[in-house]
Homo-oligomer: A and B are copies of this chain.
Amino acid sequence: MKKSSNQPAAPTIYDIATAAGVSPGTASRALNNIGYVKTETRQRVEAAVKDLKYTPNRAARTLKTKKTGLVLLAIPDTDNSFYVDMIKAVQDVCKEHGYSMILYYTDAIPVEEIRALRMLREHYADAMILVNFSFTSGYLKEIDRLQAPLVLSGICKDDIGGRPGDRFDYIGVDAEKGVFQAVRHLARQGHVRIGYIAGPAEFLLFRERHNGYLSALTESGIPYSDNLVIWCSYTESCAIRAVKSFLALSEPPTAICCANDIMALAAQRYIQDAGLRVPDDISIVGMDNLDVTTKVRPMMSTVAIAQAEIGRAAANLVFGRLAGTEMRSSIRQIFEPRLIVRESSILCSCCKPRKEYWTGNA
């Protein structure tokens, strides 16, 4: 702690000006290297700053310049490590530009996301990156009255709310294609009964991923089977339940694709603890390429989505908007997901991927 009571008030630029024998305006110019200031005057001001331990008041500066030096990053949650790379990337770019970052967890609740948008309107920050799972029409009303750059990330379909692409920038990933790659990979391994643990249908993200499952089946000529798809939450426990119901089928799937790694890892553990082998009895592929996927045995096949790149791209775009150097009307950048085949989905041992355990990378 630090007592905030009966301390001498922090020095202002007026104190500096008095101490240096100049006017506040001159002191300001001296400190910001703007306009004409005699070298000797500047030195007197700098000496006064050092002497009085002066630091400028952000609010006062912001009030006049209308720049907060803050970027607001709103993300769904932190329960999994899914977002840390993105957070780090955004923070890094912010630092490069001398900016700081406000982090706001929305818990994937629309009300919270709108609250975050309102923070932007109240000039808490100069710009905002909003990562969302869903996309409610309530956004658009809020977005339309924004005065500051906004970059959306996560999920945003073109057809929601009437060409939202015209209203904001979007940097994200092709959710459908990720699952498509994973399921096609399983089909190419010869699997025909491929289970899919789909996650919660209320989030657009998971509906998109489910579409990937469907289109991979179609492409592979595998007929759709209703009891091989299980909608649920996105947690471990519901993955377990899903696997149980798969195993209870007269013809259980020989491969399972999960809509995220958390569920895939839980499924793999449950299958192993039940005495079955992965991938020999059941192959598994996850989604998101969490760090953990290289730390289990067998190492989990999964789909990488370039969180760090997305974060960097979003942040760079934000600063492009702020600087006015990015003139294009609205930018839409979709990163490709990348299938990473590891051990949990390779049947033929002769073609197993090289073990690169210790790099943590595949």
Give me the interface of A with B, judged by CB distance under 8 Å.
1-2, 4-5, 7, 10, 53, 55-60, 62-63, 68-70, 78-79, 81, 84, 87-88, 91, 100-105, 118-119, 121-124, 143, 145-151, 167-169, 236-237, 240, 265-266, 269-270, 272-273, 291-292, 295-297, 317, 321, 324, 326, 329-331, 355, 357-358, 360
Chain B residues contacting A147 (CB-CB under 8 Å) are 2, 4, 7, 10
Question: A60 to B168, alpha carbons, bound, how many Å?
Answer: 27
7 contacts between A and B (CB under 8 A): A1-B330, A4-B148, A57-B123, A59-B60, A100-B104, A102-B103, A266-B358
Chain B residues contacting A331 (CB-CB under 8 Å) are 1
Question: A162 to B72, alpha carbons, bound, how many Å?
Answer: 38
Partner pick for A55 among B7, B56, B88, B118, CB 8 A cutoff:
B118
Chain B residues contacting A102 (CB-CB under 8 Å) are 70, 100-103
- Tell me whether B321 and A146 are in contact (CB under 8 A): no
Chain B residues contacting A296 (CB-CB under 8 Å) are 295-297
Chain B residues contacting A60 (CB-CB under 8 Å) are 59, 63
Chain B residues contacting A236 (CB-CB under 8 Å) are 358, 360
Among A104, A295, A297, A355, the most chain B Cβ lie within 10 Å of the Cβ of: A295
Chain B residues contacting A169 (CB-CB under 8 Å) are 1
Copies of this chain, complex-wide, total: 2
- Tell me whether A59 and B56 are in contact (CB under 8 A): no
Closest Cβ of chain B: how far from A112's Cβ, in Å? Answer: 9
Assuming A2-B150, A57-B63, A145-B53, is B317 touching A295 (CB within 8 A)? no
Partner pick for A63 among B10, B59, B101, CB 8 A cutoff:
B59
Closest Cβ of chain B: how far from A95's Cβ, in Å? Answer: 9
Chain B residues contacting A151 (CB-CB under 8 Å) are 1
- Tell me whether A59 and B68 are in contact (CB under 8 A): yes
Among A59, A62, A88, A237, the most chain B Cβ lie within 10 Å of the Cβ of: A59
Question: A2 to B145, alpha carbons, bound, how many Å?
Answer: 9
Question: A324 to B167, alpha carbons, bound, how many Å?
Answer: 45
Question: A161 to B252, alpha carbons, bound, how many Å?
Answer: 66
14 extra A-B contacts, CB within 8 A, seeds A2-B149, A60-B63 = A1-B168, A1-B321, A2-B168, A55-B121, A56-B122, A58-B59, A58-B68, A59-B60, A63-B63, A69-B124, A78-B84, A81-B81, A103-B103, A237-B358
- Tell me whether B58 and A87 are in contact (CB under 8 A): no
Chain B residues contacting A122 (CB-CB under 8 Å) are 55-58
Question: A123 to B68, alpha carbons, bound, how many Å?
Answer: 12
Closest Cβ of chain B: how far from A117's Cβ, in Å? Answer: 11
- Tell me whether A101 and B101 are in contact (CB under 8 A): no
Assuming A84-B81, A296-B295, A321-B1, is B149 touching A124 (CB within 8 A)? no
